Amino acid sequence: MSSVEPLRVLVTGSAGQIAYSLLFSIANGDVFGKSQPIILHLLDIPMMMTSLSGVKLELEDCSLPLLHNVITTDSEEVAFKDIDVAILAGSMPRREGMERKDLLAANVKIFKSQGQALDKFAKKSVRVVVVGNPANTNCYVLSKFAPSIAPENFSCLTRLDHNRAKAQVALKLNITSDKVKNVIIWGNHSSTQFPDVKHATVELSDGKKHNAYEAIKDDNWIKNEFIPVVQKRGAAILAARKLSSAMSAAKAICDHMRDWWNGTKEDEWVSMGVPSDGSYGIEKGLIYSFPVRVDKNKKWSIVQGLAIDDWSRGLMDKTCQELQEEKNDALATVSN
Ligand code: NAX
C-alpha cells in the first residue's frame, strides 16, 4: 500500500446510471491522479441496496490498485463520514404528471438532510459538486444547511453543457473540440441557460487562434441553432435513448473535479455553477454558472471584466430570474 492517505470520495445515487459510468474513472485514478488511493463511499436509498452491492462486486472485479475500499450504505452518517469529495447525483426524478413545485419540494427534503449530514460528518475541506436536478437550487439548499463549510466549497455541474457547447462549435467549424476554448455557460442548468461563444477562441487549420464568434460568422446559426441545441440537448438525448445522459454526464463530472483539484490550464477557463459574489450583477449567493479559473490551491475565481452586450445581458438576466424563482420556492418549502 502507498503512504499517501486515501481520499474519501462520496457518490450519491450510486446505483444509478451516471454513477455506473463514473465510478471506474474515479477508482482508476483518472480524476485525482494515478498515485492517489481512493476509498469510495456509495450512498443510495434502501430499495437499491441489492443493486448497489452488485456495483461493489464489479468494482472489486476491476482489480484496481488505487481502490482501497468500497463502502456501500443507505445511511447518511456512514456515507458523509470524513469525506474529502462529494459528488451528489442522487435526487428525486421527475415523474409523469409531477408539478415542478412538487419535484422541488421532494429535492429540498433530500438536500436539506444531506446538507445537515455534510455539516456534521464531512471534513471541513470537502469539495462538493451537485449533479442531481434541479442542480443549482439543490446546491443552494445543501450549502444553506451546511453552514460550517465554506460556501466556495459548493458547486453544481454545468460542465456537461460547457462540453456540449464546445462540441457544437467544433462540429460547425470542422475542427476537433480541443481547438475550442473558453465557451461559457451562464446561469441555470436548465433550458434557460445561456451558452455564450462571444469570448471563446478557436484554432483553425491556419494554426492560428481566432475569436469563435468571428470565425463562425453566422449570427443566425448561433441564435437559432447553436443556443437551442445546447439548451435542449438533455431532452434530445432522453427522447432518443429513453434514458437521460449518463456517459457524457460522467465524463463532465470527471472534467469538473479534475480541474477543481488540479487547477485549470494557463489560458483556459471552464464553466462551474458556484455561489455568486455579485459579479456581472448576479444576485449574491445564487448558485449561478460562471466562467471560472482554478488555481493550484483548489481556489476558483470568477473571470472578471468580460464585455457583455445588451443581447447577452438579457439572456443572463432571464436565467438568473429563473434561479431566483427556484430559490424562493425552495425557501418557501423549507419554512413550511
Ligand atoms: P438514475 O435514476 O439512474 O439514478 C439516480 C439514483 O439516485 C437512483 O439509484 C436513486 O435510487 C438514487 N437516489 C434517489 N434519492 C436518493 C437519496 N435521497 N440519496 C441517495 N440516492 C438517492 O439517474 P441518473 O441518470 O444517474 O441521474 C442522476 C441525476 O443527475 C438526475 O437528477 C439527473 O436529472 C441529473 N443530471 C444532471 C446533469 C447535469 O449536468 N447537472 C446531467 C445528467 C443528468 O440529467
Ligand 1 pocket mutation pick from 133, 136, 158, 271 by most atoms within 8 angstroms of CB: 133
Task: Ligand 1, residue 157: give the atom nearest the CA.
Answer: 41
Query: What is the edge-to-edge ordering of all strands in the sheet holding 127-130?
Result: 67-73, 38-43, 7-12, 85-88, 127-130, 154-156, 270-275, 287-294, 300-302
Indicate if ligand 1 lies below 6 Å from the C-beta of 48. Answer: yes
CA neighbours within 13 Å on the CB side: how many for 230? 31
End-to-end Cα spacing for the chain:
50
Cα 247 to middle of ligand 1, angstroms: 13
Indicate if ligand 1 lies below 6 Å from the C-beta of 52. Answer: no
State the average pLDDT for the chain: 96
Beta bridge partners of 305: none
Residue 94 has pLDDT above 80, yes or no: no
Nearest CA to ligand 1 atom 2: 16
Cα 221 → chain centroid: 27
Segment 38-54, tens digit of pLDDT: 999 999 999 999 999 99
Indicate if ligand 1 lies below 6 Å from the C-beta of 110. Answer: yes
- In Å, how far are 29, 187, 188, 192, 327 from 101, measured between CA atoms? 39, 20, 17, 17, 11
Catalogue the active-site residues. Answer: 189
**Phi/psi at 127 (nearest 5 deg)?**
-105, 130
Nearest CA to ligand 1 atom 1: 16
Nearest to 127 by CA among 9, 44, 251: 9
Indicate if ligand 1 lies below 6 Å from the C-beta of 43. Answer: yes
Task: Ligand 1, residue 133: give the atom nearest the CA.
Answer: 32
Cell of 32: 485525482
Residue 336 has pLDDT above 70, yes or no: no
Ligand 1 pocket mutation pick from 12, 14, 18 by most atoms within 8 angstroms of CB: 18
- In Å, how far are 101, 195, 322 from 96, measured between CA atoms? 13, 28, 22
Indicate if ligand 1 lies below 6 Å from the C-beta of 234. Answer: yes
Segment 219-256, tens digit of pLDDT: 999 999 999 999 999 999 999 999 999 999 999 999 99
pLDDT band at 2 (very low <50, low <70, confident <90, very high): low
* pLDDT above 70: percentage of residues in the chain: 99
Segment 140-163, tens digit of pLDDT: 999 999 999 999 999 999 999 999
Cα 157 to middle of ligand 1, angstroms: 13
pTM: 0.97
